[in-house]
Homo-oligomer: A and B are copies of this chain.
Amino acid sequence: MYENFEPAGSAIGYRVTRKLDEVQSPFQKIEIYESTDWGNLMLIDGAMMLTTRDNFLYHEMMSHPALFTHAAPKRVVIIGGGDCGTLREVLRHPGVEQAVQCDIDEQVTRMSEKYFPELCESNGDPRAQLLFDDGIAYMANCAPGSVDIVIVDSTDPVGPAEGLFNKAFYESCFRALAGDGILVQQSESPLVLLDLIKEMRGEMRKAGFTAFQTLPFPQPCYPTGWWSCTLARKADGFEFREADARGKAFATKYYSADIHRGAATLPPFVAGALDL
């Protein structure tokens, strides 16, 4: 099973044994495959979303750097993230009092519950709230200053997720976030999509954010195998709670205080392309 990435002129494939499921939701086509080496695979509209084996890289990096950068994150909103893997990581932080996950497509969560149950093991946490609704409207309607961290865990900026990559959406996030709030968004491949990262940071800046940090990490199932998240803050600076990260009471497979620090220093060619 191969997925061709038109913008990158490259492809990634997996040896699959069978198709386990397929559902056409009102928003997109979701397919589940069983593979020989990577566990189950979820594809949305033909694009690889996650594998059992390597999703920990993405989910840990979408959550822990932001949560260990904020001084005391209590109220977290996840836009997208229907597979619930990011939610699970967020809820590992004992200080989090409320985590709202707002994905437009309930079928993504239903498929994840069935084929990636380990990602959904915190869905019953009393702090978790699962909404199946339009994330753009949700952020627009949030009470000002009511959120500590917004995590945009979406598909690529085409189709349903297109509206999550522009100034209007970032303005909603800016307004919803408290003064020390952090927005973090998956920001595609730092090897081939540097223009997108630069544009994203530009739109975030126009929306009022003043400080930005792009963290690369490996992610085999996404184009080029190298991915990134981008953090934006209203306030300046990205010093993280390194002592807390070192002393955390939960286990991680990829994230660590050292990995966090290492990811924060971009390779020269990435920094150069972003005019840093």
Interface residues of A (CB under 8 A from B): 2, 4, 8-15, 35-38, 54, 56, 191-192, 216, 218-220, 224-226, 251-256, 258-259, 261-263, 265, 267-269
The one of B2, B35, B191, B258 in contact with A54, judged by C-beta atoms closer than 8 angstroms, is B191
A192: chain B residues at CB < 8 Å are: 37
Tell me what chain A mostly uses at the interface: helix, strand, loop, or mixed. Answer: mixed
On whether the beta carbons of B14 and A11 are closer than 8 Å, the reply is yes
Q: How far is the CA of A54 from the CA of B254 in the complex (A)?
A: 24
CB closest residue in chain B, given A271: B256
A15: chain B residues at CB < 8 Å are: 4, 9-11
On whether the beta carbons of B254 and A259 are closer than 8 Å, the reply is no
Q: A11-B12, A256-B267 are in contact. List 20 more A-B contacts (CB 8 A).
A: A9-B35, A9-B36, A9-B37, A10-B220, A11-B11, A11-B13, A13-B13, A191-B218, A218-B224, A218-B225, A219-B225, A220-B224, A224-B225, A225-B225, A226-B226, A252-B268, A255-B268, A261-B262, A261-B265, A262-B265
CB closest residue in chain B, given A256: B268
Shortest beta-carbon distance, A250 to chain B, in Å? 11
CB closest residue in chain B, given A51: B10
The one of B224, B256, B268 in contact with A254, judged by C-beta atoms closer than 8 angstroms, is B268
On whether the beta carbons of A259 and B265 are closer than 8 Å, the reply is yes
Query: Interface centre among A10, A13, A220, A224, by most B CB within 10 Å?
Result: A10
On whether the beta carbons of B8 and A37 are closer than 8 Å, the reply is yes
Q: How far is the CA of A115 from the CA of B255 in the complex (A)?
A: 40
